[in-house]
Structure 1
Amino acid sequence: MHIEPDDLTRPQVHALLAQHLAQMRSQSPACSVHALDIDRLRAPGITVWTAWDGDTLLGCAALKQLTPRHGEIKSMRTDPLQRGKGIGRAMLLHLFDVARQRGYDRLSLETGATDHFLPALQLYASAGFQRCGPFASYDEDPHSIFMTRLL
């Protein structure tokens, strides 16, 4: 597996992100879906990486700068056919490395609160994230779980 910055132009990445958005919308009310579409992932301050095995897309993740010392993890997604292979953890560790290189001292994230999100919550907790209150421009939401981790 290799992880590389992505320019969001490849069809495989479009398909994975469309699948991600569709699933998020099926799990939470529209006002509680904070996943970003491709245009919003191209915004300044957001970098996207993809994980590949040859020509096979394994997953993606993005990092959004909130402040010069605080980043937010966005759009973590593993292809459903590739789950259980450690791809999510590898992406997360890559984001930790990039965040440290950028001088961040904290990473935060928002994820859903239904049972569908339990594997993600377990991954984040095992990597040292702890639940916290809303951060950045988020509001308290019963459909969201907020987590943060010092680097």
Structure 2
Amino acid sequence: MKIKHDDLSSGDVIALLEEHLKDMYATSPPESVHALAVNALKSPDITFFSAWQDDVLTGCVAIRKLSSTEAELKSMRTVAAFRNKGVATQLLTFVIEFAIANGYQTLSLETGTQGYFNAARQLYAKNGFEDCEPFGNYQFDPNSHFMTKPLVNIDISPSSPPKCVNTG
């Protein structure tokens, strides 16, 4: 699998993000949907990545800069045909390494509380994310589950930075 910095111009990526938004609105009340549309993901404070197996999209993930030391995980999604094949774990590992390499000390996320999000919450917990209070501009919402991972004292080898292919 190759993970690359993505400019959000691929029809496959756009379709995956539209599917993601559709699912979020189908499972959560509209006021509790914090997934971002494609144009919002193009913000300068967001870095977006897509994952590919040969020429086939397998998933995506984004990271939003909240401050010089804090970042937020956004829009992590695996293509249905690639679920339960390790794509999400690889994307999460990649974005954690990217955050560390860019000097972030914490990586936080918001996900849903509904059963639909159980697998995501389990994946995050398995990878060291812990429950936390709302962060950034979020407010308490019974439909939101907040998690964070401290990135200090995590060693990634300087000889193996996150593997990213730049498309620009």
AA in 2 matched with 1:26: A
AA in 2 matched with 1:120: A
Distance in 1, Cα, partners of 2:9 & 2:73? 21
Q: Deviations over 1:42-64 (max 9, x none)?
A: 00110000000011100000000
Q: Does the alignment pair 1:72 with 2:43?
A: no
Aligned Cα root-mean-square deviation (Å): 0.4
AA in 2 matched with 1:28: S
Distance in 2, Cα, partners of 1:53 & 1:21? 23
3-state DSSP of counterpart to 1:67 = coil
Distance in 2, Cα, partners of 1:72 & 1:40? 14
Q: Which residue of 1 aligns with 2:34?
A: 34
Find the structure with the greater CA-based Rg. Answer: 2
Cα offset for 1:80?
1.0
Q: Which residue of 1 aligns with 2:49?
A: 49
AA in 1 matched with 2:82: Q
The number of equivalent residue pairs is 151
Distance in 2, Cα, partners of 1:19 & 1:147? 24
Cα offset for 1:98?
0.7
State the identity %: 46
TM-score, with length taken from structure 1: 0.99
* Long gaps (5+) in structure 2: 152-168
- After the TM superposition, which parts of structure 1 deviate over 6 Å for at least 4 consecutive aligned residues? none
AA in 2 matched with 1:7: D
TM-score, with length taken from structure 2: 0.89
**Larger helix proportion, structure 1 or 2?**
1
Distance in 2, Cα, partners of 1:65 & 1:125? 22
AA in 2 matched with 1:84: N
**Structure with the greater relative contact order (CA < 8 A, sep ≥ 6): 1 or 2?**
2
Distance in 1, Cα, partners of 2:60 & 2:48? 7
